[in-house]
Amino acid sequence: MLQSLQQAASTFAGMVTAFCHKMGWLNLELLIGQFQNRLQFGVQRELVDLCRLNALNGQRARTLYNAKIDTVAVLANTSPAEVENVLWSAMPFESRKRGWINNTMKSTNSTSPALIKVMVRRNERPSVGHTYGPSG
């Protein structure tokens, strides 16, 4: 229910943004356009840039932001090992034997740090079922 309301508000904000553009109300268009992005991703303004990446949700974006990785450009220049350490430190305890949280970063998960870095550089979506990492 809440997600539906959020989506409807984002869509309405997009329509109002288009209306403001046609009317030449550039300041109002800019203001509502920024609000639309926040509604679309469900995050505060400072996280919108990071949330544009498909592999990041609001929680992961906040974790990176708190670690001073606050833009896509900074993320692109951050080593995959550092991204992994930041994301690992924010996760609840889980076994290191599963998923990408190990030294090899071999993954079938679309949120591996190495894959996030590739997506930043290429601006691509991961293919489902593909194994990423040294042997992939």
If asked whether residues 96 and 38 sit together in one domain, one would say no
If asked whether residues 56 and 17 sit together in one domain, one would say no
Domain containing 7 equals 1-42
Q: Please write the tens of the pLDDT for every residue from 50-87.
A: 888 888 888 889 999 999 998 889 998 888 888 888 88
For the chain, how big is the Rg over CA atoms in Å?
Answer: 18
- What size, in residues, is the chain? 136
If asked whether residues 111 and 126 sit together in one domain, one would say yes
If asked whether residues 131 and 77 sit together in one domain, one would say yes
- pLDDT score recorded for residue 90: 78
Is the pLDDT reported for residue 125 higher than 60? no
Token readout for 76 is 């692109």
- pLDDT score recorded for residue 27: 94
pTM for the whole structure: 0.58
If asked whether residues 59 and 119 sit together in one domain, one would say yes
The proportion of the chain whose per-residue pLDDT surpasses 70, expressed as a percent, equals: 68
If asked whether residues 22 and 76 sit together in one domain, one would say no
Backbone angles phi, psi at 133, to 5 degrees: 135, -170
Any idea of the CA torsion for 8, 12, 14, 18, to the nearest 10 degrees? Answer: 160
In which band, very low, low, confident or very high, does the pLDDT at 45 lie, cut at 50, 70 and 90? Answer: confident
If asked whether residues 83 and 22 sit together in one domain, one would say no
- pLDDT score recorded for residue 23: 95
Any idea of the CA torsion for 36, 126, 92, 82, to the nearest 10 degrees? Answer: -90
What DSSP line would sit under 22-51, residue for residue? HHT-HHHHHHHHHHHHHHHHTS-GGGHHHH
Average pLDDT value for the chain:
76
Of the two residues 103 and 58, the one the predictor is more confident about is 58
Token readout for 77 is 């220049």
If asked whether residues 49 and 60 sit together in one domain, one would say yes
If asked whether residues 87 and 60 sit together in one domain, one would say yes
Tally the domains of the chain.
2
